[in-house]
Structure 1
Amino acid sequence: MRLDALTLKQMRALLAVVETGSLTLAAESLHQTPPAIHSQIKNLESAAGQSLLQRAADGSGFHATQAGQEMVIAAQRIEAVLSHAARQIAAISQGRSGHVVLGTVSTAKYFAPRLVRLLQDRIPDVEITLRVANRSETIAALDRGDYDLAIMGRPPRNALARAVPLGPHPHGVVLPPDHPLAGQDGYDTAALLRETFLSREDGSGTRILMQRFIERLAEGHAPRMVVMPSNETIKQAVLAGLGIAFLSLHTVHDEVQAGRLVLLRGMGLPVMRHWYMIPGTPDATSISMATKRCAEEIEALGGVYLPKLTG
């Protein structure tokens, strides 16, 4: 493989074709012509020594070969590094000491804005951008290098060694106030498992924890489950009486405090986990000073930004 023959233009052409599945659409997105995109792909394949794209079996468009997928990952990381450099240069030109992209899983959006506000007070010369995504998207962004720091409840295996615990992350079952199980000091397992559980999508950290909780109650039992796309939709569905839900209790803080939702009490509840902070790079020497300062301030806050449940 001739690395000296690779160009940024070729890598961006490959990304555009993989993202759109089409030479024509890739050309439009990059404001070039289809022949120019085709030429760049061919030159890139020549430098790589093998094909990077192939047509779909049904002829609907192009997708990456196995080698192409590796090149796409490399291209995404290059773009992330360049974007990071651009943000740092822009921050410096504005008289700031740097820029930090803080990524969080969607469950953390209930406290992340407060955290950012506290950070702005403590390190006003550092510009902070908050990005919120689901768990799988957050992990992918970390792998690409899109985030300088990330906050999530269950770190991926390849980040366990550098994950820093920030504070408790309780999970539990939430019910409407008039539910038969509400207000009790315990619960009947059989009655609970007859309920319809409103759940996040497959792969969600909350759903994985919910499934473990249910398996501990009755191994092999699968209660009726309805999948919904967000915590907000699930909360509204519980309020409407469509079922009950196993959620991060930080996502239902306001509703519980207002008495619109109540917590199921009994054996194994709440399920306690932790929030973690993960640096965007495993190499501590490559972390910017702005990112290091931001991470230190988040640790120093000691989780004061996390919702406190009293209901």
Structure 2
Amino acid sequence: MIQLVLAAAVLTVAASVYGAIGLRWRRRARIRREILELVAALDFEPYHAAALKSGATEAAAAELLLGGYLDIDGEGAVLLTERGRAFGRTPVHPVPAALLEAVRRHDPEPVSMGWIDCYDEEYRARRGTYRSERDAQLPEIPRMPDGEGRQPLACCACVGVVLLLVFWVVAAMLLVMARPHGVLEWVTATGAALGLAALWFAEGANKGVGARTACDDPLGDRLRDERHPAVAALDEQQRLHVLGSVEDRSRWRGVDRVVDGDGDEDDEWDDDWWPDAYHYRAADNDDEPDGGAGDTAAR
């Protein structure tokens, strides 16, 4: 008769455990469906979508480059054009307008977009204000329950796992020790063994539920394939120049020096870089009198 008792107990516990797993699956699947439907219905403004991917500066630089406000050389140095120096001409959108004003504050000395993005406080503040205003318009997106901040429930779950393990060990020992006799006992013993096997794989089934219903970064998945129209309109060379300028976050290029982000200066000329970066200053050297060269030759 012990086999019958064991079978009833084991199958009851197994049904309870898998019932809880099934309820968890159903709840998580419902929340996941709600999250994905809500995110899919969102209509992002292009710069907001870029900001959510930390690409607002790149998008603004692309728009200013296409609009003829600035030029970016192969080393990532940003140079204002005549249109960019005309203060009456400013983009309508606040993000490229803030970036253009930041470049104007450094004119006529070139600067990288990455340096502005990291160290220009006024630009960072205006970009942050735009991001905050747009984020406030987003609906509240449900979060998948992960157990964080619910210590009592987590403690109860740990106690339940320990009790289940103890029950499994005791039931297995009793099933091995009790030799079945007759067809009924063999059938009940087989049922108890199947129940114990099911309990053994319950933890894997629970992890499978978490993996199949995971919804870690729905916004990132939604925005991953979206590109800002200005970025998409760049040709290959322009794209490389913009990326190089945005990724150069540690240096500010002065007239005759390269300055690290922490303020250390390097007074040595970079002969491979500066002629391209300061091509518009070449005209200044043409205004020097010829007498200076003659005096030098005479000496």
TM-score normalised by L of structure 1:
0.20
Structure ranking higher on relative contact order (CA contacts 8 Å, 6+ apart): 2
Between Structure 1 and Structure 2, the one with more strand by share is: 1
